[in-house]
């Protein structure tokens, strides 16, 4: 907010491009982990009441492995735990996707058991847990980071080249070698290309910089673990604190036995491993 002049007391809003944001200048009221946890609870873990009743603690966190759509809860007419199950939301017409059906109580038990196992291991073997998380993150990001760094290098090199080309255009214009109309067209094209490259380079730089934060991820997860010393039930708060998403595979029969893969992606640290 600002004033047009010292004489005009009316407050006007500055355009966003003129905003100056300075971070971390004051001691925060709450720490970063607490803030992010609260935002996740507000976004994903809130208790929703619908005509079907209260949605479970995993509501909004479950996704189809094939089409990526959310799984929605379905209830049979006879209300009992085994009659509540999740289906892919794109399965309604039975053509867009498969059902990926999974009983709610079974999924919630599996997730609770996995959270308890992961948090117990993290609490009791901190050094080993941090090393494990780092290995998994490095493996997952190694290929992507090589690509990002290569693209970033090409983009920054081209940005410097365009600077030299633009300087040359101005010199040619001044010496009369380059007509004014041609100069304007070429200048516009090079500046447009350079703007696009700078925006892309900024995105790539942010991705590369995130790598330096990886070592902190396991520590941040451990900070969350220490807040839950006795995990006995799966609540909205617990799910929103630890779970980023759950990916449910299609129910299949292998050698006459039912088989369904469930992938649990944790906040901050990603996937610890597939759970079958």
- Closest to 43 in 3D by CA, of 60, 68, 55: 60
Mean pLDDT of the chain: 78
* Cβ proximity of 63 and 246 under 8 Å: yes
- Express each pLDDT in 212-236 by its tens digit: 565 567 778 888 888 887 889 999 8
- pTM assigned to the model: 0.59
- Express each pLDDT in 62-118 by its tens digit: 999 988 889 988 876 665 656 788 988 888 766 678 878 899 999 999 999 999 999
Token pair of 248 as six digits: 């449910």
Token pair of 176 as six digits: 């009369």
- Closest to 86 in 3D by CA, of 68, 62, 65: 62
Do residues 196 and 232 both lie within one domain? no
- Answer yes or no: is 24 within a domain: no
85 in the Ramachandran plot: left (φ > 0), alpha (ψ -120 to 50) or beta?
A: beta
* DSSP annotation of 70: B
Distance CA 207, CA 195 (A): 19
Range of the domain at 98: 45-126+221-275
Do residues 120 and 180 both lie within one domain? no
Do residues 241 and 118 both lie within one domain? yes
pLDDT at 61: 92
Number of domains in the chain: 2
């Amino acid at each position: 907010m600002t004033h047009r002049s010292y004489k005009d007391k009316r407050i006007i809003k500055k355009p966003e491009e003129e905003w100056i944001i300075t971070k971390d200048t004051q001691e925060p009221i709450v720490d970063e982990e607490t803030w992010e946890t609260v935002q996740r609870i507000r976004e994903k873990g809130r208790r929703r009441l619908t005509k079907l009743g209260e949605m479970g603690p995993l509501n909004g966190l479950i996704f189809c492995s094939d089409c990526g759509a959310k799984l929605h809860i379905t209830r049979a007419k006879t209300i009992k735990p085994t009659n509540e199950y999740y289906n892919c939301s794109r399965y309604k017409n039975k053509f867009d996707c498969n059902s990926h059906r999974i009983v709610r109580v079974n999924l919630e038990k599996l997730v609770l058991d996995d959270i308890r196992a992961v948090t117990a291991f993290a609490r009791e073997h901190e050094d080993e847990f941090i090393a494990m998380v780092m290995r998994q993150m490095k493996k997952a990001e190694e290929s992507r980071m090589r690509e990002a760094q290569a693209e970033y290098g090409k983009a920054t090199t081209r940005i410097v080249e365009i600077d030299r080309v633009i300087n040359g255009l101005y010199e040619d214009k001044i010496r009369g070698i380059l007509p004014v109309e041609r100069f304007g067209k070429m200048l516009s094209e090079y500046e447009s290309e350079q703007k696009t490259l700078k925006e892309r380079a900024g995105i790539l730089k942010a991705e590369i910089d995130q790598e330096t934060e990886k070592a902190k991820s396991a520590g941040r997860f451990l900070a969350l673990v220490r807040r839950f010393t006795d995990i006995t039930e799966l609540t909205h708060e617990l799910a929103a604190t630890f779970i980023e998403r759950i990916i449910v595979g299609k129910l299949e029969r292998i050698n006459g036995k039912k088989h369904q893969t469930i992938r649990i992606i944790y906040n901050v640290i990603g996937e610890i491993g597939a759970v079958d």
